[in-house]
Chain A
Amino acid sequence: VLSEKDLEGPLWELEMALLESDVALPVAESIIKRVKEDLTGQHKKFLRSTGDLAEDALRDSIASILNTNALDFDDFVRKSNRPVVITFIGVNGAGKTTTIAKLGERLKEQGYGVVIAAGDTFRAGAIEQLEKHADRLGIKMIKHAQGADPAAVIYDAVQFAKNNKKDIVLADTAGRLHTNINLMEQLRKINRVVKPDLVIFVDEAIAGNDAVERAKLFNDAVPVSGTILTKADADAKGGAAISIAHITGKPILFLGVGQEYKDLKKFETDWFVDRLFER
């Protein structure tokens, strides 16, 4: 029978590994606590070391966090009423605009008619950045002048899609920090005005503990449908995926794995968990 004392050493090592993989501290603690409760008092299976048992239990626990409320993006898009309106939100520089271009390319290849909305009317060069992507990809972009109301831009893009029988609207928004009350209110307004089918939270695999804070505050402002984690090519283990899925209760949809359009990978729990545990 496994006692708390048997588990102490192996669980401490696993907790350190989670922390070194950028799982936020409170999330790592809560996962380890659950694994400990599950294992304590269990009969030790024949010929398995306590460390191996703990690691298996931890894998299961992480997988269950990542698999909650699974959402098949392709399936969702296929079955939803047209146009499918998708907004992308997140902190500054996380990769929203680039991810929209990548998804735009992917959806276009699948045969959908795509419209992009230049909803970042704030940052210098934001409209030009998205416009260059749209031109390269041959995708229609709807824009207003810099400083315009982002909700109005996205609304116009939705009207354009309706009038021109387009299937999907991908709406960019300006990067913002979750502590900026006015800008978070602006996201609520966008939600009220355009009623998106999906709200995708974009964050980066290199983020540490703050992933929890921002996922929580973005999700509180506008309930997110799922997350895309960018910059997973930067050698990070990407524990932020676990923190964010834990906080939002929503799945990770894709990983960004580079700066090219093809560098968007469907998120697969098994692949991710294997990578997390490889030393």
Chain B
Amino acid sequence: MVLDNLGTSLKDALRKIANSGKIDKEVIDEVVKDIQRAMIQADVNVKLVMKLSSTIKNRALTEAPPAGMNSKEHVLRIVYTELVNIVGKATPVALQSQTIMMVGLQGSGKTTTSAKIARYFARKGLKPAVICADTYRPGAYDQLKQLCDKLGVGFYGEAGNKDAVAIVRNGLKEMAKYDVKIVDTAGRHALETDLIQEMKDIYGLTKFDHKLLVLDAAIGQQASEQARAFNDAIGITGVVITKLDGTAKGGGALSAVSDTNTSIAFIGVGETPDDMERFDPDGFISRLLGM
């Protein structure tokens, strides 16, 4: 349970309540301030932090703790339920034939994650193939092909062709016999209008079952704005947080799912194709608050 592995700073803050005997406004202010700092340091959007902390404060001051629950547990429970409200459960990913589109900012980990997801389905007994729609980044084709060859999963790409939309159209036809088709796209951000249009054109080719936004765990305050732009363009169905094997807390992903009304599907915890896990809300929330 998340309450057991909260970080020490937060635990210290909450001990203040436990020791003070009763909950008064001053103690709650202090604890909420500590929670605010934890969330800001985790890169949760500053406005969202302010909104959340005022909700938490109001609830802590007005709701009586359920019978048998001390005040410390009460505040913790409020914080936890508010965060669970936002992150929800892991995005459902059915173990069946489907088409998945990977999108995100430059260098966030789309290509690596495409291979990881192919590996994930292959281990579940399905036949995956990855299509390389990145015609911009030098070596993008080689990177993905090497990853797929090593894993023994299907690969489709056209090294000389600069038309990503045509490649995906051909690739979907060519790889029709594979169960799961994963389209790896070039990195782009909200202000690159030509690239956003290209992404929409790829999106228009077929009915994608998933459009996953790949976000670096270290992304800061831009996460909301970027996620909204991707969502407006193609309607994302879930988020993948990468590079959680470092020290970044992934608060940007919390802002992103809050702003796009989606959830988190997978997390990346290393560079190799096996370094991916299904999203676990409890673990994520404790990391977020743990400082």
A20-B46, A25-B41, A234-B105 known; A259+B139 contact, CB < 8 A:
no
Q: Is the CB of A123 within 8 A of B140?
A: no
* Interface size range of chain A in the complex: 35 or more
Which listed residue, B108, B136, B226, B252, touches A208 by the CB 8 Å rule?
B252
A20-B46, A93-B107, A93-B216 known; A210+B221 contact, CB < 8 A:
no
Tell me which residues across on chain A come within 8 A of B43, comparing CB atoms. 208-210
Q: Give residues 182-231 of A contacting B (CB, 8 Å).
A: 204, 206-211, 213-214, 231
A129-B139, A235-B225 known; A208+B219 contact, CB < 8 A:
yes
Q: Is the CB of A234 within 8 A of B226?
A: yes
Which listed residue, B41, B143, B220, touches A124 by the CB 8 Å rule?
B143
Q: For the complex, is B200 an interface residue (Cβ under 8 Å from A)?
A: no
Q: Is the CB of B220 within 8 A of A235?
A: no
Q: For the complex, is A167 an interface residue (Cβ under 8 Å from B)?
A: no
Q: Is the CB of A234 within 8 A of B190?
A: yes
Tell me which residues across on chain B come within 8 A of A20, comparing CB atoms. 46-47, 221
In the assembled complex, the CB of A229 is this many whole angstroms from the nearest CB of chain B, namely: 12
Q: For the complex, is B289 an interface residue (Cβ under 8 Å from A)?
A: no
Q: For the complex, is A236 an interface residue (Cβ under 8 Å from B)?
A: yes
Which listed residue, A92, A128, A234, touches B142 by the CB 8 Å rule?
A128
A92-B243, A92-B271, A231-B189 known; A209+B42 contact, CB < 8 A:
yes
A19-B46, A93-B109 known; A125+B41 contact, CB < 8 A:
no
Q: For the complex, is A44 an interface residue (Cβ under 8 Å from B)?
A: no
Counting chain A CB atoms within 10 Å of each CB, the highest count among B47, B106, B191, B248 belongs to B106
Q: For the complex, is A233 an interface residue (Cβ under 8 Å from B)?
A: yes
In the assembled complex, the CB of B233 is this many whole angstroms from the nearest CB of chain A, namely: 15
Question: B residues near A, CB below 8 A?
Answer: 37, 40-43, 46-47, 105-109, 136-147, 150, 189-191, 216-222, 225-226, 243, 245-249, 251-252, 271
In the assembled complex, the CB of A186 is this many whole angstroms from the nearest CB of chain B, namely: 14
- A125-147 contact mask (Cβ, 8 Å, vs B): 1 or 0: 11011111100100000000000
CA distance A123 to B202 in the complex (A): 27
Closest to B191 in A: A235
Counting chain B CB atoms within 10 Å of each CB, the highest count among A16, A177, A214 belongs to A177
Q: Is the CB of A125 within 8 A of B108?
A: no
CA distance A206 to B105 in the complex (A): 10
Q: Is the CB of A125 within 8 A of B142?
A: yes
Question: What number of residue pairs across chains A and B have CB atoms under 8 A from each other?
Answer: 143
Complex A-B: 18 CB contacts under 8 Å: A19-B40, A22-B221, A24-B41, A25-B40, A93-B106, A93-B107, A93-B216, A124-B142, A124-B147, A208-B218, A208-B248, A209-B40, A209-B42, A210-B218, A214-B218, A231-B105, A231-B107, A231-B189
Closest to B220 in A: A208
CA distance A42 to B41 in the complex (A): 32
Which listed residue, B106, B218, B245, B251, touches A179 by the CB 8 Å rule?
B245
Q: For the complex, is A77 an interface residue (Cβ under 8 Å from B)?
A: no
Tell me which residues across on chain B come within 8 A of A40, comparing CB atoms. none
Q: Is the CB of A123 within 8 A of B143?
A: yes
Which listed residue, A21, A25, A93, A123, touches B108 by the CB 8 Å rule?
A93
A22-B221, A207-B220, A236-B222 known; A259+B143 contact, CB < 8 A:
no
Q: Give residues 231-246 of A contacting B (CB, 8 Å).
A: 231, 233-237, 239-240
Q: For the complex, is A94 an interface residue (Cβ under 8 Å from B)?
A: yes
Q: Is the CB of A233 within 8 A of B191?
A: yes
CA distance A24 to B249 in the complex (A): 13
Tell me which residues across on chain B come within 8 A of A234, comparing CB atoms. 105, 189-191, 222, 226
Q: Is the CB of A132 within 8 A of B106?
A: no
Q: Is the CB of B146 within 8 A of A235?
A: no
Q: Is the CB of A213 within 8 A of B106?
A: no
Tell me which residues across on chain A come within 8 A of B245, comparing CB atoms. 177, 179-180
Closest to B136 in A: A259
Tell me which residues across on chain B come within 8 A of A92, comparing CB atoms. 107, 109, 243, 271
Which listed residue, B37, B138, B142, B225, touches A133 by the CB 8 Å rule?
B138
Tell me which residues across on chain B come within 8 A of A130, comparing CB atoms. 139
Q: For the complex, is A178 an interface residue (Cβ under 8 Å from B)?
A: yes
- A234-275 contact mask (Cβ, 8 Å, vs B): 1 or 0: 111101100000000000000000010000000000000000
CA distance A147 to B192 in the complex (A): 35
Q: For the complex, is A66 an interface residue (Cβ under 8 Å from B)?
A: no
Q: Is the CB of B246 within 8 A of A177?
A: yes
Tell me which residues across on chain B come within 8 A of A206, comparing CB atoms. 105, 216, 219-220, 222
In the assembled complex, the CB of B150 is this many whole angstroms from the nearest CB of chain A, namely: 8
Tell me which residues across on chain A come within 8 A of B42, comparing CB atoms. 209
Across the A-B interface, the 9 shortest Cβ-Cβ residue pairs: A208-B220, A125-B143, A129-B139, A93-B107, A132-B138, A208-B43, A210-B248, A22-B220, A177-B246
Q: For the complex, is A65 an interface residue (Cβ under 8 Å from B)?
A: no
Counting chain A CB atoms within 10 Å of each CB, the highest count among B47, B136, B216 belongs to B216
Q: Is the CB of A124 within 8 A of B146?
A: yes
Closest to B36 in A: A25
Tell me which residues across on chain B come within 8 A of A180, comparing CB atoms. 245
CA distance A178 to B218 in the complex (A): 13
Tell me which residues across on chain A come within 8 A of B46, comparing CB atoms. 16, 19-20
